[in-house]
Amino acid sequence: MTREDDARADSTGVDIELSMKNVDPTLVKHANDADEAMKVFEQLQGEAIELDEATNRRLLRKIDWHIMPVMCCVYGMNFLDKTTLSYASIMGIKEDLGLVGDQYSWLGSLFYFGYLAWEYPTSRLLQRLPLGKYAGSCIIIWGGILSCFAAAKNYPGAIAIRFFLGVFEAAVTPGFALLTSQWYTRNEQGRRVNLWYSFNGWGQILGGLVAYGIAVGTAKHGSSIEPWKIVFLFTGCLTIALGCLFLWIVPDSQLNARWLSKEDRILAVARVRINQQGIGNKNFKWYQVKEALLDPMTWAFFFFALIADIPNGGITNFFSQLINSFGYTKEQSLLYGTPAGAVEIVALLLNGYIGDKTGQRILTSLGGLFLATFGVILIVALPLENNVGRLVGYYFTQAFPTSFVALLSLISSNVAGYTKKTTVAALYLIGYCVGNIIGPLTFRPQDAPRYVSAEIIIIACWGACLFILLFIWWWYQRENRRKANIRSGPGYVRLEGQEFLDLTDIENHDFVYTL
């Protein structure tokens, strides 16, 4: 099958043949640890399977309606559960727990210490254990831990809860990236990643409205427990319910999806053959770890996540206090934070749509980065009395995730080899953790209410990220040209069946990087 045939099959779903008869002898060494799907197709004994366009669309609709809603809702809670602390910060948690000095900042960072400590182990467990069951179990446990925050009496207790909350939330983002690469073609992945990540915005809208309602309601009618504890109980119990739903709906792979017939399970694997990645491999491969560590893109991704999430860590934990510093009341700060979620939703959905339509996810994502940087400049440059202008500047900062999500989707699309993919995803999210640990510490108590030093750091970080993104775009273009030259050579033959041998993106010369 030529590259043109690949593109046609990806867009129409026509003429996908699954025959394992002509696997090249040079790849036999991979046969014993091949992709899970290969074992299924070997049982077909060379029988060809055709997937027409109508069937492909029917399968895509069924997959979308079963998987995407629960992934989106869980990811919204993933953001809301992290930012609940920000709402609680102006609802009395500091006074009730006796937080002084920079203890609140450290409380914000402690979540990411747990996330950091468990990120690589959880990535390995996502590979070794049933994907859907492991991710679903982590969601339920993190919901239970979050509910326990309502019982916290002091700073040490809050530290323990924040740490273990990070441990169990560490499985969500890499797990969702694996699920997306497992179920969707490369041309479909960008929009899906942007869609489920955009529910961070819905989480912020829901959280702001719930916190505002609780704050106003308890002030008017009174409450037997503190308002901030009600917020933690609400978000924790809702997370547990969604975790149970996730566990029931989301399978470990296409091969055990209860909502697909036996024939549709095979066709669901057939439709993602074009990815040249298979659907999963339980075997840990040291050579793929080594390749990941030597791949310049791994470290470009890592340093982007680290630098970009220094601003994210600060803004996520301090946005309620930041809005309060603009001259708004505490109740107004809870309510006025919600439009920022809408900005994030619109930015991510547009980014996903335009990026996939143009085939330029990286360049498209720069728009959100520019808008976010402009927003911080507004906050710094405008006078204190211009509270509306500074609030609009904060809203603009919420367009930042377009670039982070673009690279997250490229881990799904551009990193092949299951061990390599989990390694790169883990390092990317380790960078994310380190950045988020540093971020809250840039908002020093003595800099309130303007936090000018933190805002200057944010501008510098996002400026550096611009150059990293351009480097990644240039590198992938160069690698695609190099692979095209290899494929056009007189002695090159495309190897049938190689997509199920768990080859890495560097090993597989038919693997074309998405830009």
What is the average pLDDT across 375-395?
A: 87
**pLDDT for residue 49:** 65
By the 10 Å C-beta count (0-12 exposed, 13-18 middle, 19+ buried), 385 is classed as: exposed
> pLDDT grade, residue 74 (50/70/90)?
very high
pLDDT digits (tens, 9 = 90+) for 264-286: 888 888 888 776 665 666 778 88
> Which pLDDT tens digit goes with each residue over 13-48?
333 343 334 334 444 445 455 556 555 555 554 455
Q: Cα 232 from chain centroid?
A: 23
Instruction: Please give the single-letter amino acid code of residue 269.
Output: V
Q: Are 270 and 10 in contact (CB under 8 A)?
A: no
Write out pLDDT tens, residues 341-383.
899 999 999 998 998 888 899 999 999 999 999 998 988 888 8
Angle at 272 between CA 268 and CA 278, to 5 degrees: 100
- What rounded mean pLDDT belongs to the chain? 83
Question: For the ranges 77-86, 182-191, 297-306, 407-416, which has the lowest average pLDDT?
Answer: 77-86
How sure is the predictor about 499, in pLDDT bands with cuts at 50, 70 and 90?
low
Q: Which two tokens stand for residue 199?
A: 């529910």
Cβ-Cβ contacts under 8 Å for 355 (sequence gap 6 or more): 190, 191, 194, 361, 364, 365, 406
Q: What is the pLDDT at residue 493? A: 72
What span, in angstroms and rounded, lies between the C-alpha atoms of 273 and 296? 27
Residue 313 has pLDDT above 90, yes or no: no
Q: In sequence order, which residues have a C-beta less than 8 Å from that of residue 411 and are 6 or more positions away?
A: 177, 301, 421, 424, 425, 428
3-state SS record for 361-398:
HHHHHHHHHHHHHHHHHHHHHCCCCCHHHHHHHHHHHC
Is residue 401 reached through a cis peptide bond, with omega within 30 degrees of 0 on the bond before it? no
pLDDT, one tens digit per residue, over 43-64 is 554 455 667 888 889 999 999 9
> 224: which 2 tokens?
């037997």
pLDDT tens-place string over residues 425-453: 889 999 988 998 888 788 777 777 677 78
pTM exceeding 0.85: no
In the numeric block, which tokens belong to residue 328?
A: 């708004």
Task: Look up residue 241 and give its two tokens.
Answer: 């319910």
Q: Which domains does the chain have, with CATH numbers?
A: 3-500 (1.20.1250.20)
- Residues 315-329 as b/e (b if ≥16 CB within 10 A, e otherwise) read bbbbbbbbbbbbebe
% of the chain at pLDDT higher than 70 = 87
pLDDT of 185 reads: 87
Q: Which residue has the tokens 């609780």?
A: 214
The CA radius of gyration of the chain, in Å to the nearest whole number, is 23
Angstrom CA distances, 314 to 94, 104, 106, 232, 455, stand at 17, 12, 11, 21, 9
pLDDT at 140: 96
User: Given this model, what pLDDT does residue 7 score?
Assistant: 41
Give the residue with greater pLDDT, 219 vs 250: 250
